[in-house]
Structure 1
Amino acid sequence: MQDNKPDYFYQRYRKDIMSSAVPRSGFVVFCVLLVVTLALYPVLRTLGVQIYSAFTGKYVSGYHSLLLVNCPTEQTARDIGRIIMEKRLAACVNIFPRTATMYYWKGEIRDATEILLLVRTKTSLVQRLMTYIIAIHPYDIPEIITFSIDDGSQHYLKWIAEAVTDS
């Protein structure tokens, strides 16, 4: 009788292990689906926004952005503006001449005149545009500030979307 006890416990233990394999495989499938969904989220969100906008005719906030960029000279501003326009990273660039600027730099307050660029683009391009501007800008720390466009003329916002490329 004692010889049967270890076999009984062994068989019972093996049965529990085998029955727990089914829930584990379900958990693995759930994890894989979760990872795939998170990886595809940007694409799914963009597609959803476009479908929503097409069916309702309404603008979805945050699809377009506005950047403010200060430049030391008008020629620098024109060069940066032209380059980002040629690369189709911006739909439009306004150049505001001679803005008076006061700023804190290396422990003291300084005065200067700068040229302000007002850049309109898609929000999906903001990071690439900022990286590019930082690479070509003459300042060590260029001022680049972005704002999400909450609303505006539907025709104008559609034009921005058509004027810039995502690739």
Structure 2
Amino acid sequence: MVLTMSMYPMLRALCVQLHSAFTGSYVPGHHSVLLINCPNEQAAKDIGRALMERRMAACINILPRTSTMYYWKGEVQEATEILMFVKTRTSKIQRVTDFVKSVHPYETPEVLSFPVEDGSLPYMKWMDEAVPDD
């Protein structure tokens, strides 16, 4: 039982690859996009580069200057932030989240993930090559 549970991520990854190879289609939810807000461009670039160097993301888009309103400590706040789109394997979400929380300057950083339901199969295969499954 323990052996089976410990091998589950590897077996699931293999099944997804076999499914894609035989059917030529994508398994929904195998990849995800995460949204991460940062206080400035340098913080976003530092976090993005660290994620890329650790092979936890295939691609990161950094969008400049988003206007943000949020509720914090009993008051509505307004800020200018930098929004990151992080594309990765769904199996990496927890590692990405833990890493971002450990280096992010915010007390409670925003890390939201959305599963990819469909997309370009060649792009998804490239993502698999860029982000190895542990």
TM-score > 0.5, shorter chain as reference: yes
TM-score, with normalisation over the residues of structure 1?
0.75
**2 CA distance for matches of 1:42 and 1:166?**
8
Alignment CA distance shift 1:87-1:44 (3 Å): closer
Instruction: Please report the TM-score for the alignment, with normalisation by the length of structure 2.
Output: 0.93
User: 1:112 matched to which residue of 2?
Assistant: 79
Is 1:140 aligned to 2:107, yes or no? yes
Unaligned 5+ runs, structure 1: 1-33
Shift in CA distance, 164/42, structure 1 to aligned 2, threshold 3 Å:
closer
Residues 60-103 of structure 1, C-alpha deviations (whole Å, 9 max, x = no match): 01111100000001110111111111111111110111100000
Q: Say which structure is richer in strand.
A: 2
Gaps of 5+ in 2: none
Structure 1 position 47 matched with structure 2 position 52:
no
Q: In structure 1, what is the Cα distance between the partners aligned to 2:47 and 2:7?
A: 33
What secondary structure is seen at the aligned counterpart in 2 of 1:129?
Answer: helix
Percent sequence identity over aligned pairs: 57
**Alpha-carbon RMSD:** 1.5
Rg (Cα) greater in structure = 1
Partner of 2:130: 163
Aligned length: 134
Q: Quick one: distance in 2 between partners of 1:54 and 1:151?
A: 16
63, 69, 86: which one aligns with 1:102: 69
